[in-house]
Structure 1
Amino acid sequence: MVSSAGISIQAVQAIGLTVSDASQATDFFTGAFNFTVESDTVLSGDEASYLYGVPDAQVRIVSLKLGQETVRLMQFLGADARPVPADSKSNDLWFQHFAIIVSDMNAAYAQLKRFSFSPISPEPQTLPNNIEAFKFRDTDGHALELLKFPSGLGPDYWQSQETLFLGIDHSAIAISSTERSLALYRDALGLTHQGSFTNIGIKQETMDNLFSAKVIVTSLTPATGRLGVEFLDYLTPPGARPFPIDQKTSDLVHMHFELAVEDIDAAIEVLEESNQVQFVSPKVIDLPNVMPFKRGALWRDPDGHNILLVQN
C-alpha cells in the first residue's frame, strides 16, 4: 500500500549482512547469542545477479531467528569479498549495527567472550537511565551491540527474564544529516518518527571508542513488528568518511534493511520520482520459491546505506 504521503513500510522484516563464510558466521550467531537457523538456501542465476548487482552471483543465504527478529547471512560463493576497512570508526558513514537485547548483561557478555570478536567498547557501559550497552565487531568486521534496558524502561517485551537473548530492537546507521534522512525514511517510506535526542560525554565516547563524540540519535518504527531503524548523526568529531563509491553487495561492509511492502511496483515508482536514491537492482526482480519473499529490489539511500525492498 502506498499512501498519499509516500510508501507504507509494513515491517523491517530482516537485517541482511554479507559474510565471508556462512557456516562460520552461523556458528557464531547461534553459539554466542542463541539464534536458531530458519532456512539455508542458495540463490543463483540472473535473479541473484540482478537483485544484488553482482555479475554471475551465487549466494548462500542463511536465515537466523532470535525472538521475533530475523538476520540473513549472505555469502557470495566464489566472489572476492573485500574486507571492512580495518580503521573503521563509529561515525564513518558505512557504519551500521544491530542491537541485541539481553536480560542479563553480565551473563550475555560472559557467553560472548567464549567466541572471537573485536571490542569497540572496552567493556559493557552503564549509560544514563541505567541502560547497559556493549559495542563490538564480529570476525568479519560487522558492528553489533548488546543492550539491556533497566526495569520500567523500554517496551514490556524487552523486560522478559525468560531467556538471556530476547531479540533485536533496532539497526542503527551513521548518517550525515538527520533532516535529509527523515525526508526519506519518514516522509517517503512512511516510518514513524518516535523521537530524537543528543548523546554526549565520556560514556558515549567510551562506548563508541570515539573521542569527543556528540551524536543525535533518532528512532523510527514501521507499522508492525519490534525491529526499528535508528539514525546516528555525529556532530563531532569531524572527519566522518563516506561510503566507498565502488561498494558492492559482495563486500563485507554490506548490510541492509529488508523492508516489506504490500505493493512493490508502486513503492519503486515513488522512489524513482523522489530522486533521493540510487538503485542497485535495475528493476523489481521476481524470485524463486527458495527465497523468503517473492519479489525484491535493492537500492541505496543518499549516504550509501542499502535497503532491500521486498514483497512477500
Structure 2
Amino acid sequence: MTTPHIRSIGFTCRDAEALASFYTTHLGCRRLKCLELEAGPYAQLVGLAGSRLKLLQLQLGAEQLELVEVLELGAGLRAGRSMPADSRSNDLWFQHICIVVADMAAAEAPLQPLIQRGELQRISSAPQTLPSWNQAAAGIQAFKFHDPEGHCLELLQFPADKGESRWHQGGEGSPFLGIDHSAIASGNTPRSCRFYEELLGLRLGGDGVNSGIEQDHLDGLSGTEVRITGHRCPEGAGIECLNYIRPIGGRALPAAQSSADIAHWQIRLQVSDLEAIASQLERFGGSWVSPGIIDLAGEPAAALGFSQALQIRDPDGHQLQIVCS
C-alpha cells in the first residue's frame, strides 16, 4: 500500500446496527466485520479511556466506512451529545463523505420516500448540476442530505470529462461506486494546505471557488461563496477542505467535542513515519487527542490491521487517526 493512504472514514453513532442497515439497504454498502473492543489502548487512543466500543466496518467500492458506537463510557467521561439541530454547511464541525454514483436519478429517487416520511433530512433542495462557467466543476451533479442520525452525505455524479477513470467503469448493477473524498470545513485555506500537504504528505488535487444559485441550493445557504481545495493520496479517497467565504458566521468546532459525540468524525490515515508527524504536529497547527503514540500490538484492536497509532486534531479541530502497520 502506497502511503499516505486513507484506510477508512468513520463517525460516532447511537446505533451502529440500525445505521449499517440504512447504508447497506439504501447506499450500496456491504458489511465487513464488527469489532467489540473492551476498555484498553484503542479507547485511550481516541480520548475515551476506560470505554467499551463497537466498530462496525462497511465497504463501498474500494473504500471503507466505519461506524463507531460507545457501548459503555469510561468513568468520569461526559456522555456523548447529539448532533446540533441547527448545523449548517459553513459551521466548522461540518464534515461529509462524497459517494460517487453512476446515475444520480437511480441513486437519489429511492431516498425520496424516506425524506418525505421525515426519516432523512435534505440539505440540498434537489440534485444540482454545477454551471458551465465553473470549468473545474462544470456538469458535476450533486445532492447533499443527512443520514438517519444527522451525519452529512453527498451523492455526486461526474460527467464523462471529469473524475478518476474508476468512476466511469460501471457499478456492476448498483449506481453506488465508492467514496471519492471526505469534505471538511476549513477556516483558513493556506493553513489547511500546510497541514495536509507538508505535514501529512497529501498532494494538492485542485483549488477553486464555487458560487451562485446552484451552490446555494446544494448547500442550503444563501449568497454562497466557498473555496474548495482538494488534497489527494497517491490512490484512493482524498480530503477536501471547504472554506466558506460567504455567508459569514460559521461557528467553530467546540473545543470540548469528543469521540463520544454524534458530530464526531475521524479519518484513518496510514503513513510510513508516525514519529515525524508527532514531532512536528504542533508546528503545523495541530493538537493531540491521544497521549502520544499508542502501541496496539497484541491487543484486540490489532484486528484493525495496524500496531501503532496517534489521534490528532487538524487546525480546525477535525480528528484524524494516524496509523502505522
Q: Same fold (TM over 0.5)?
A: yes
Partner of 2:54: 60
For 2:89, the aligned partner's letter is S
Q: How does 1:16-165 map to 2 (within 5 A)?
A: 16-79=10-73, 80-113=79-112, 115=114, 116-128=119-131, 129-161=138-170, 162=172, 163-165=174-176
Asked whether the 8 Å contact 1:46–1:56 carries over to 2, the reply is: yes
Q: CA RMSD in A?
A: 1.5
State the secondary structure of the residue aligned to 1:85. coil
Does residue 228 of structure 1 match 2:222? no
For 2:70, the aligned partner's letter is F
Moved over 4 A (4+): none
Cα deviation for residue 75 of structure 1 reads 0.3
Asked whether the 8 Å contact 1:216–1:233 carries over to 2, the reply is: yes
For 2:311, the aligned partner's letter is L
For 1:300, the aligned partner's letter is R
Cα deviation for residue 111 of structure 1 reads 2.7
Which residues of structure 1 form unaligned runs of 5+? 1-7
In 1, the alpha carbon distance for the partners of 2:179 and 2:226 equals 22
User: Residue 25 and residue 267 in structure 1: after superposition, are their counterparts in 2 closer, same or farther (change >3 A)?
Assistant: same
Which deviates the most, 33-42 or 110-119?
110-119
For 1:200, the aligned partner's letter is S
Number of corresponding residues: 303
Cα deviation for residue 186 of structure 1 reads 1.1
Cα deviation for residue 61 of structure 1 reads 0.1
Does residue 183 of structure 1 match 2:194? yes
Partner of 1:252: 262
Does residue 202 of structure 1 match 2:209? no
In 1, the alpha carbon distance for the partners of 2:306 and 2:49 equals 21
Which deviates the most, 290-299 or 250-259?
290-299
Partner of 1:4: none
State the secondary structure of the residue aligned to 2:304. coil
Asked whether the 8 Å contact 2:99–2:155 carries over to 1, the reply is: yes
Task: Give TM-score, length-normalised by structure 2.
Answer: 0.89
Partner of 1:297: 310
State the secondary structure of the residue aligned to 1:226. coil
Cα deviation for residue 136 of structure 1 reads 0.4
Partner of 1:284: 293
Q: Percent identity, aligned pairs only?
A: 39
Task: Give TM-score, length-normalised by structure 1.
Answer: 0.93
For 2:110, the aligned partner's letter is Q
For 2:263, the aligned partner's letter is V
In 1, the alpha carbon distance for the partners of 2:188 and 2:7 equals 25
In 2, the alpha carbon distance for the partners of 1:292 and 1:87 equals 37
For 2:96, the aligned partner's letter is H
